[in-house]
Amino acid sequence: MANFKFPLLILFVLYFSQLHLLQFHHDFFSFFPVKIGLLIISILLYAYSSTRSKPVYLVDFSCHQPTDSCKISSETFFNMAKGAQLYTEETIQFMTRILNRSGLGDDTYAPRCMLTSPPTPSMFEARHEAELVIFGALNSLFKKTGVEPREVGIFIVNCSLFNPNPSLSSMIVNRYKLKTDVKTYNLSGMGCSAGAVSVDLATHLLKANPNTYAVIVSTENMTLSMYRGNDRSMLVPNCLFRVGGAAVLLSNRSQDRVRSKYELTQLVRTHKGASDKHYTCADQKEDDKGIVGVSLSRELTIVAGDTLKTNLTALGPLVLPSSEKLRFIISIVKSKLFRLKSSPYVPNFKLCFEHFCIHAGGRALLDAVEKGLGLSEVHLEPSRMTLHRFGNTSSSSLWYELAYIEAKCRVKHGDRVWQLAFGSGFKCNSIVWSALRTISASETLVGNPWGDSIHKYPVHVT
């Protein structure tokens, strides 16, 4: 978006500087209506540019890649489960079936305390994991962008299940010795959609704070969230979730447009927590033996589909071309007015976006979204490959998927990227970015977790 303020101010100065030369000129009154009209137009343009929301730019982002010593294969996972002496043989067999059908590969990452036999989770180990992931992503981000930590005015951290005191955002302030007036926020309990919630919060904060950088850190902590019981509804997260995190730099500074990768164009949030079925479908609680875990309802996929439908109803009018809007309206008229029995028309969102980043929550979720939206394997490739390579990294998975697309050199100037996130509550959030330039291969050398493995992908997932 062009910034009209400076040239308009110059126009004002030039106009008023000429008034004293013209005030006694014999042609003054003949030019007076033109001058007044020009002045009014200039004032209106200045007022419009002053009140219009500043664009939010995504300058760059980085995803953390743990060391090879933290890799956990299926064999290592099962050895850990057996060595823990916490699970029955039936439970281990159940987790084996889940993991074999999960779509995860053997190169995902786990915290170091899970790789010992038996596992040794503790507050100390949880802090170690948080520091490793968060500082790793931030150091990479600052290196890529050349921005100093003290230049950032807003820091937002989202981590759903690990919320120590002092907070994770305070941990960042202490590590980087940030200024005393830095604005920090710590989001918890928001589930896998918390990254999108953080972008929304950052956008509103940037509107109120001109010429500011905002950094978002999205992660989940696995050390203390591993379920140590035998309730089947709580065992799935053990099989799917893995270590990961991302740091994102946003800006509302007009001078950053040139170097930024994307501009935010739409953000739509949907929360259906008013429904008990939606609210309890992903519920952290104690099992019948008092062991804490996250229970996933059998209706999770149905709830996700219903919440997605509501989200798309709000997103569609903002992004769909007129032809798709018309077809959708006609289908509603047929079903509501004429009561004709027909399948509801699903708009073709492939006309709106070149790239899709669907939260890599699990194979069943991706299958349901692919079928429901009529997408192809190519559209779901970034999500499926992220699930295979890194597992479910919760709120940061959207950024591993975008990193995959960039590593494949697929992002061209003007491309539209749709990030779609699901989270407990139950929430479904959409973010739409527009690429400001073509992303070159050289830009994927730093902070891109696919740098050492992109040549191996895509792979066939059985």
Clarify whether 359 is annotated catalytic.
Answer: yes
Task: Compute how many other C-beta atoms are within 10 angstroms of the C-beta atom of residue 9.
Answer: 12
Residues with Cβ within 8 Å of residue 142, at least 6 apart in sequence = 148, 149
CA distances in angstroms from 78 to 73, 118, 184, 227, 346, listed in the order given: 9, 12, 40, 14, 42
Active-site residue identified among 63, 70, 113, 192 = 192
DSSP structural state of residue 437: S
Q: What gap in Å lies between CA 203 and CA 56, rounded to an integer?
A: 7
Does the annotation mark 392 as catalytic? yes
Catalytic site residue 20?
A: no
Distance CA 401, CA 359 (A): 8
- Which among 215, 236, 268 is positioned nearest to 430, based on CA atoms? 268
Closest CA to 363 of 99, 76, 93, 65: 99
| Largest CA-CA distance found in the chain, in angstroms, rounded | 102
| Residue of 106, 144, 136, 137 lying closest to 456 (CA atoms) | 106
Write phi, then psi, for 217 (nearest 5 degrees): -115, 120
Q: 426: cis peptide before it, omega within 30°? A: yes
Marked catalytic residue, from 388, 428, 429, 448: 388
192 as an active site residue: the answer is: yes
Helix (H) or strand (E) run with residue 158 in it: strand 154-158
Could you confirm whether 278 is annotated as catalytic? no
* Distance from C-alpha of 148 to C-alpha of 249, rounded to nearest angstrom: 11
User: Considering 159, 355, 428, 448, which one is annotated as catalytic?
Assistant: 355
Q: CA 303, CA 426: separation in Å to the nearest integer?
A: 8
Can you tell me whether residue 372 is helix, strand or coil?
Answer: helix
Report CA dihedral (22, 28, 32, 34) to the nearest 10 degrees.
-80
CA end-to-end span of the chain: 46
* 63 catalytic residue (yes or no): no
Catalogue the active-site residues: 192, 271, 355, 359, 388, 392
